[in-house]
Amino acid sequence: MTARRLKSLLLLLVLMTAVFGYCQTPSTVTITIRMMDAKTGILIPTSDFLIRIDHQEDQHGSWVKQNEDGTGKLTLPATAKIVAVEGKYAETTNLYVNCDSARDKPEPVVHWYTISDIVTSGVAAPNECSKHTAVAKPGEFVFFVRQRNWHEQYKDFSQ
């Protein structure tokens, strides 16, 4: 084999390795979730979330693990494009009201967030329940919640 042919084969091997390495995508995406109390602006430490992706009805609470600092570590499939996050009262089936939808009438609507935006720049959902705000870091999703008021609880109970 000539030196020229050996160089060509080596270059081809290097290029193929680079192309195949670049084409591989991770199988999961990890983001950090901070659920904040809308009234106090304080983190509510929990891993009790309802996670939905890509407008599907399936709920994936097991995708979140609680970090030592009280935030949640959410692991999503790399194919997921958008996510909706809701929080539950500790060890109950009652959901908090997400404050990004608190003014939606007649009923709060689930808001969906682009995972690529969360990963690249971070997303802090709007807080329509109070004046508290938060800044999200890249890879972080921050949202505010409040407990259901008596009227909302009665309406849920009577249905």
pLDDT attached to residue 127: 94
Residue 139, burial from CB neighbour count under 10 angstroms (0-12, 13-18, 19+) = middle
- Is residue 42 assigned to a domain? yes
Residue 91, burial from CB neighbour count under 10 angstroms (0-12, 13-18, 19+) = exposed
Contact 64, 74 (CB under 8 A): yes
Backbone phi and psi for residue 14, each to the nearest 5 degrees, phi listed first: -65, -45
CATH assignment of the domain containing 63 = 2.60.40
Is the pLDDT reported for residue 74 higher than 80? yes
Range of the structural domain that residue 54 is part of: 25-158
Q: Give the closest residue to 110 by CA, choosing from 29, 39, 52.
A: 52
Name the domain count of the chain: 1
pLDDT in tens, 93-121: 788 889 998 777 777 788 999 999 999 99
- Is residue 79 assigned to a domain? yes
Q: Give the closest residue to 52 by CA, choosing from 83, 27, 93, 28.
A: 83
pLDDT attached to residue 15: 64
Residue type at 77 in one-letter notation: P
Could you give the CA distance from residue 110 to residue 97 in angstroms, rounded to a whole number? 10
SS3 116: helix
DSSP conformation class of 68 = T
- Is residue 67 assigned to a domain? yes
DSSP conformation class of 110 = -
How many Cβ atoms are within 10 Å of 53's Cβ, its own excluded?
A: 19
- Is residue 70 assigned to a domain? yes
Q: Taking the mean position of all CA atoms in its chain, how far away is CA 37?
A: 17
- Is residue 31 assigned to a domain? yes
Could you give the CA distance from residue 64 to residue 10 in angstroms, rounded to a whole number? 45
In which band, very low, low, confident or very high, does the pLDDT at 76 lie, cut at 50, 70 and 90?
very high
- Is residue 45 assigned to a domain? yes
- Is residue 19 assigned to a domain? no
- Is residue 89 assigned to a domain? yes
